[in-house]
Amino acid sequence: MPCLTERKQQTRKRSSEVNVDIYTKRLGINRSYIIKSEGCIMIDTGPVRSAKAIRNWIKTIPIDPDEIRLILLSHAHGDHVGAARDVKEFTGAQIAIHEQDREYLEKSITLWPSALNTWGHIARIIMKPIKPILRFPATHADIVIEGDDFSLAEYGIPGHVVHTPGHTLGSVSVLLKTGDAFVGCLAHNNLPFRLRPGWPIFGEDKNKLQASWKRLLDLGAVRIHPGHGNPFSAEVIRQLLS
């Protein structure tokens, strides 16, 4: 699934304690994020053959590739991890993934997620022909996240990684002190998944997914950055849970 559309966006957060720049790049129907504070990390790399688009994107923002010290993968689906190995090659960054999704990344196992609603069942059938496009090269994980929390302080980022299972059992989110939450596919907010922000149409465990959202809200998430679609208010999820 090559890069089809290019979009650049920068969000700047300032306070007496927090200094964060957020950059996002659209890669087909996916989004990749770069977060810069005292240090710099990337969240997800999009599908295979996205590396060139990412390299060109980085040239347009005030970041050098070698500033990116960590590539955090929200989960091991091919449209989120496909270019990880190539991006690592030109940035030198370490790749991190949760222990429960590690095997899929390192053995190049293409997961085909279960449906969580009627449209999910229909979409699985419609999208089945693209399954081969989601294949990706086996990629070594430099850092395996164990447990429920992983601080990003040593990477110069004011926030932490939160284990948020539900879409996959090893799904994770990044929650910054600004309240910005980068959630991968814990939510969807664009076609072909949804017309408006809400639950993902695919997932392994709806109960765990909702429990993950409750945890993120309790930890202070206020603005949601999904892996598919534009940011939206956490109040959308709070209302769904209620």
DSSP symbols for 106-162: HTT----PPBSSHHHHHHHHHHGGGGGGG-------SEEE-SSEEE-GGGT-SEEEE
pLDDT in tens, 81-128: 999 999 999 999 999 999 999 999 999 998 877 888 898 888 888 877
Is residue 47 within 8 A of residue 134, CB to CB? The reply is yes
Strand 143-145 with 40-43, pairing = unpaired
pLDDT value at residue 14: 45
Length of the chain equals: 242
Backbone angles phi, psi at 84, to 5 degrees: -60, -45
DSSP calls for the chain? -------EEEEEEE-SS-EEEEEEEEETTEEEEEEESSSEEEE---STT-HHHHHHHHHTTT--GGG--EEE-S---HHHHTTHHHHHHHH-PEEEEEHHHHHHHHTT----PPBSSHHHHHHHHHHGGGGGGG-------SEEE-SSEEE-GGGT-SEEEEE--SSSTT-EEEEETTSEEEEETSSBBSTTT-SSSBS-SB-S-HHHHHHHHHHHHHTT--EEEESSB--EETHHHHHHH-
Dist CA 105 CA 14 (whole Å):
36
Contacts for 68 with CB less than 8 Å, ≥ 6 apart? 34, 40, 41, 42, 91, 93
- The mean of the pLDDT values for the chain is 91
Dist CA 38 CA 49 (whole Å):
30
Write out residues in the chain with pLDDT < 70, as ranges: 1-17
Ordered domains of the chain (ranges, CATH)? 8-241 (3.60.15.10)
pLDDT value at residue 1: 30
pLDDT value at residue 6: 38
Is residue 189 within 8 A of residue 183, CB to CB? The reply is no
Residue whose C-alpha is closest to residue 43's, from 160, 192, 168: 160
